[in-house]
Amino acid sequence: MLFYDSANPAPNPRRVRIFLAEKGLRVPMAHVSIREGEHRSPDYLAVNPLGQTPALALDDTSVLTESIAICRYFEALHPEPPLFGRDPRNIAEIDMWTRRVELRLMMPLGMVWAHTHPFTARVVKPQYKEFGESQRPRVTAAMTEFDHALARRDWLDGERFTIADIVLLTTIDFADFVGMPIPDELGALRAWHARATARPSAQA
């Protein structure tokens, strides 16, 4: 087994690192530098033709990609603690929150990143900067929605730190890198972020 990782600020490989840390698992890792373009090298494209990280090469030579799929694989092998939920309702609620992070927050944030940030200008041609800028209010609106939800609970599912919180943490930190930190007035989201960041796994 070999996990192909990339350093921060890449949010998706970090999801898996935090998940593994919460599970207390250690797996062999290979670093793939996005900054140096190693994710587009022939050697890595032979692992994942999409040229994206993370990827998990298994002992039978098959390869899993997509961060949530990789985390689900480890969850099935090591069900405790249950980061994807403990019963049908809880599993569905965690999936709901995870999808909300990905669709309502990460999607417009990705457009801001792709079409306005200098780092992506070398690969996103052309950048549609006006479109990218138009997505900033959607990012702020999504953060406000999570702020309202977290005003009544410590964690997204209302009970414990789960994959949904991992996805939100990595997305919020990536938003800060892109230049969209949590607005000062969103006190509940900021308090949640402080709690999540204080967990040892957040340093993974």
Position 112: which residue type?
V
What is the CATH number that goes with domain 2-77?
3.40.30.10
pLDDT digits (tens, 9 = 90+) for 19-63: 999 999 999 999 999 989 999 999 999 999 999 999 999 999 999
3-class secondary structure for the chain? CEEEECCCCCHHHHHHHHHHHHHCCCCCEEECCCCCCHHHCHHHHCCCCCCCCCEEECCCCCEEECHHHHHHHHHHHCCCCCCCCCCHHHHHHHHHHHHHHHHHHHHHHHHHHHHHCHHHHHCCCCCCHHHHHHCHHHHHHHHHHHHHHHCCCCCCCCCCCCHHHHHHHHHHHHHHHHCCCCCCCCHHHHHHHHHHHHCHHHHC
* pLDDT tens readout for residues 106-139: 999 999 999 999 889 888 889 999 999 999 999 9
Instruction: Give pTM, 2 decimals.
Output: 0.96
Which residue spans of the chain are classified as CATH 3.40.30.10? Answer: 2-77
Looking at residue 124, what is its pLDDT? 86
Cβ 156 vs Cβ 162: under 8 Å: yes
CATH topology for 88-203 is Glutathione S-transferase Yfyf (Class Pi); Chain A, domain 2 (1.20.1050)
pLDDT digits 0-9 by tens, 57-90: 999 999 999 999 999 999 999 999 999 999 999 9
